[in-house]
Amino acid sequence: MLDIQTLRKDLPAVVAGLKRRGVEFDEAGFRVLEDERRTLQSRTEELQAKRNSLSKQIGALKGKGEDASAVMAEVGGLGDELKANEVRLAALQESLTAFLRVIPNVPRADVPDGKSSDDNVEQRRGGTPRTFDFAVKDHVDVGAALGGLDFDTAAKLSGARFTVLKGGVARLHRALGQFMLDVQTQEHGYTEVYAPYMVTGECADGVSSLAKFKEDLFKIEGRDLYLIPTSEYPVTNFMRDTIVEAKELPLKFACHSPCFRSEAGSYGKDTRGMIRQHQFDKVELVQIVHPDQSVQAHEELTSHAEAILKKLELPYRVMLLCTGDTGFASARTYDLEVWLPAQNAYREISSCSNYEGFQARRMQARFKNDKGKTEPVHTINGSGLAIGRTLVAILENYQNADGSVSVPSALAPYMNGTTRLEKA
């Protein structure tokens, strides 16, 4: 949620920032609510001051033995108006909060302007795409030949956009999750956590706008619970309604979980294979940091996600998202895109975002600064990595002419020494 104090002090800057991402801020609607709040608050403060003054008069009159009933009646009338004002102020505050909760974050100044992914800016590349001396197959054909990808059985069980993994491919999928967690916890200082796969509507609204994106989630019928689209939802909410000391920051968590997405509006896109699924696994990285450290922490977390691609020797590139492609809650986002030879293209495998204080204000996640005052923490998160898409990248980049797939050397210890997946 945007900082209300920034809106009050520098509304034109916020309006201009939102316009960069194609959002027209309702200035008139905001000013109506804010002007009424300011007027009512000013009147309330006047009444409180007057009541305090009259209360002193009552004490003085009683001290002199004089009749204070008229003044007491006046104080009673003020009390009635103050109570009415308190009720109206609370309602106004709710209206302001509801107004702000559907407004996206303001992009940082160094986020490039643009309308879509076509305007994202490449930052760097890692690795070189392999040159094949045989006809490259996509992961669907490679996995099916190995007897490891079964979309027909998955469709019988659950419908489209699900996959059953078998044999060595299932083992490779499991190995990837363990490998990713070990790298992040043993080399990069993250604490491994295991979190619920369902969260309340309040938690879902804490990391993004539930009102705007409810259709993207799977709702549990009859309950205020949603299947998580990423473990960012439960893990970031560890900090909800919490105040920590500055010395406790940063907090760094790594969580492996399944993720569930309705893929609303994506029908017709990536219908073949495992690129866009209703259920997939991911290792999520979350950092809770001091505001002064969030820019640096964002770069650090992105490098931690990159480390997985480097160790697996998968070609990739890092893209800085433009204003039109940056997510609702993010102030700045890097996408990591892995090379898929069958598509002859780079495809997203991780998004690493700096939300600054946007999520923290929604969740009331705060820390005590050096002056003893509370202020929002900054939150950063990213995939380290999406396991299904990493599996796709390995099947395509490590395929051999005979239909087998070589196992990346980094994964051999997690595969009981297996170095190659053979055709079924």
Residue 53, annotated as binding a ligand: no
Rg (CA), the chain: 27
The answer to whether 415 touches 193, Cβ cutoff 8 Å, is: no
| Rounded Cα–Cα distance for residues 78 and 417 (Å) | 81
Residue 221, annotated as binding a ligand: no
Strands, E, within 223-300: which ranges? 226-227, 242-245, 251-260, 279-289
The answer to whether 374 touches 242, Cβ cutoff 8 Å, is: no
Number of neighbours of residue 63 by Cβ within 10 angstroms? 9
Three-class secondary structure of residue 303 per DSSP:
helix
Backbone angles phi, psi at 73, to 5 degrees: -65, -40
Residue 381, annotated as binding a ligand: yes
Residue 404, annotated as binding a ligand: no
The answer to whether 281 touches 368, Cβ cutoff 8 Å, is: no
DSSP one-letter string for 54-94: HHHHHHHHHHTT---HHHHHHHHHHHHHHHHHHHHHHHHHH
Residue 416, annotated as binding a ligand: no
The answer to whether 349 touches 309, Cβ cutoff 8 Å, is: yes
Closest of 247, 234, 166 to residue 194, by C-alpha: 234
Tokens of 299: 């770069």
Residue 409, annotated as binding a ligand: no
Residue 351, annotated as binding a ligand: yes
Residue 349, annotated as binding a ligand: yes
193-197, long-range: CB < 8 A, 24+ apart: 193/235, 193/238, 193/253, 193/254, 193/255, 194/255, 194/256, 194/257, 195/228, 195/231, 195/234, 195/235, 195/255, 195/257, 196/228, 196/234, 197/227, 197/228, 197/257, 197/258, 197/260
Strand partners, 256: 283
Write out the catalytic residue numbers. Answer: 261, 276, 348, 351, 389
Residue 348, annotated as binding a ligand: yes
Residue 294, annotated as binding a ligand: no
For the chain, count helices (H), then strands (E). 13, 18
Which residues carry a binding-site annotation for L-serine?
230-232, 261, 284, 381, 383
Task: Please enumerate, by residue number, every residue annotated as part of a binding site.
Answer: 230-232, 261-263, 284, 348-351, 381, 383
Residues flagged as binding site for ATP: 261-263, 348-351
